[in-house]
Amino acid sequence: MKCFIKDDLVLSRPPEGPVASYIVPFAEWLGDRGYGLVSMRNQVLMAAGFSKWLGHKGLELSDISGDHARRYLLDRAQRPKLGDAAALRHLLAFLRSQNAIAEEIEADHNPSPVEQHVQAYEWYLRDARALARETIINYRPVVREFLNYRFGDGEVSLAQLRADDVTKFVQQKVSRLNLRRAKITTTALRSFLSYARFRGDVTSDLAAAVPIVANWSLSSIPRAIGRDEVSRLLASIDRDTPIGCRDYAMILALARLGLRSSEVVTLELDDIDWVAGEIHVVGKNGQRNDLPLPADVGEAIADYLRKSRPRNASRRVFLRDKAPIRGFTGQCGLGSVIRRSLKRAGIDAPTMGTHQFRHGLASEMLRGGASLGEIGEVLGHRHVQTTAIYAKVDLDALRTLALPWPGEAQ
């Protein structure tokens, strides 16, 4: 006797076992997240088989844990194939979302003394300092490496740290790094040592012992994409496809508003005030910036929302195009969009990243007569020194300041 899960999804027999009543809602849950019919069918079959196995084992719904999913894959007659484990993870996540099974309690894996300190520092950054996830990801390995360098596998006593430990670690490590990674290393180390002093584990200001990485202020010129290249890039995008409609709106927001990639991917539906024609952006350190919404950007976003955005409960404006359908989990997704679009358009851009659009807008504003203060306000800079680097972009104005070459004919 067949069992209809959905109009186009049928099982040869009704599901049995403790999860049987959740099979249909699970299929709907998968559909809401954008999984295709083939993927949904495989995951529903896996859920039905798992439920039947649980019933044969005499297990109730309240008994289910991640360990049972692993045991089921080992007990089955056929060999596990790609996607089987993920299907069971999705099923367990769905059951937890319905409060049908308990949240998984992480096993006590007895973290090493170094890991205990790294975890405590991470909690401090996240809960007390509210730092961005990307910042924590950058800082964590530096602290882990420093503690391993000083204490190895033994007990960690931060009170034993000395300035000599700090300087030797930095000298040994940064010699193998480029400038950007070297600065991240020293910044992370200062942050950790300040945290250790805040906790009372360290009484002296060891953060001051971290050597300074030479980085001359305003030593470089921002690598900005030109206005013509931006126009070519936007014109190359096929806006008749859902992905192209989304990519066009995101890139236009980068180019016209000078947003950071994180500000684009975290933009929410409630951040756009269509009546006032404003967009509310949450920048670094939670700083909120209200910007006028240009007509072309608003039209591009509205076009995406009306025609191409998948039906989804997420409040994010821009969603992934692959299942599970949700907002971007980080900035890498938008970076991939930029690289793919530049390559398709055949544009030899200054970089492959998103920041070139921000630099491009600032450069165009400067050439149009905007002051550094006005540029900084649009870009959300808190300090004028951050914007000062764009003064070097106006090469024509700088040439008027150049002294004549000695001996040059008058």
Q: How far is CA 239 from the centre of its chain?
A: 25
pLDDT at 295: 93
Q: What is the DSSP string of 62-87?
A: GG--HHHHHHHHHHSSSPP-TTHHHH
Sign of CA dihedral 57, 12, 324, 22: negative
Sheet bearing 278-282, strands edge to edge: 272-273, 278-282, 288-292
Structure tokens at 373: 């203060």
C-beta contacts of 228-232 below 8 A and 24+ residues apart: 229/347, 229/349, 230/255, 230/357, 230/360, 232/345, 232/347
List the domains of the chain with CATH numbers: 3-97 (no CATH), 113-209 (1.10.150), 227-396 (1.10.443.10)
**Alpha helix locations (H) across 9-101?**
23-32, 37-56, 66-75, 84-97
- Degrees (nearest 5) of the Cα angle 321, 134, 150? 145
Q: φ, ψ for residue 319 (rounded to 5)?
A: -115, 155
C-beta contacts of 169-172 below 8 A and 24+ residues apart: 170/210, 170/211, 171/211
Residues of the chain with pLDDT below 50 are: 1, 106-108, 218, 397-398, 400-401, 410
* Residue of 11, 103, 109 whose CA lies nearest to 52: 11
Are 279 and 293 a contacting pair, CB within 8 Å?
A: yes
Sequence-distant (≥ 6) Cβ neighbours of residue 72 within 8 angstroms: 49, 50, 53, 54, 88
pLDDT at 25: 85
Structure tokens at 78: 């056929």
H, E, C per residue of 371-407 = CHHHHHHHHCCCCHHHHHHHHHCCHHHHHCCCCCCCC
Q: Are strands 288-292 and 278-282 parallel, antiparallel or unpaired?
A: antiparallel
Q: What is the DSSP string of 332-385?
A: HHHHHHHHHHHHHHT---S-SSSHHHHHHHHHHHHHTT--HHHHHHHHT-SSHH
The single residue listed with the structure tokens 């950054």 is 125
* Residue of 296, 321, 323, 318 whose CA lies nearest to 250: 318
* Residue of 15, 3, 9, 5 whose CA lies nearest to 37: 9
Are 101 and 92 a contacting pair, CB within 8 Å?
A: yes
- Degrees (nearest 5) of the Cα angle 375, 381, 384? 75
- Amino acid in the structure at residue 202: V
Are 210 and 202 a contacting pair, CB within 8 Å?
A: no
**Using CA atoms, how far apart are residues 62 and 11, in angstroms rounded to an integer?**
25
Active site residues: 260, 284, 355, 358, 381, 390
Are 216 and 318 a contacting pair, CB within 8 Å?
A: no
Are 317 and 272 a contacting pair, CB within 8 Å?
A: yes
- DSSP, res 177: S
**Whether residue 141 has a cis bond before it, omega within 30° of 0:** no
Q: From start to end of 209-256, where are the E strands?
A: none
Q: φ, ψ for residue 68 (rounded to 5)?
A: -65, -35
- Global pTM? 0.59
pLDDT at 96: 87
Angle between helices 84-97 and 66-75 (to 10 degrees): 150
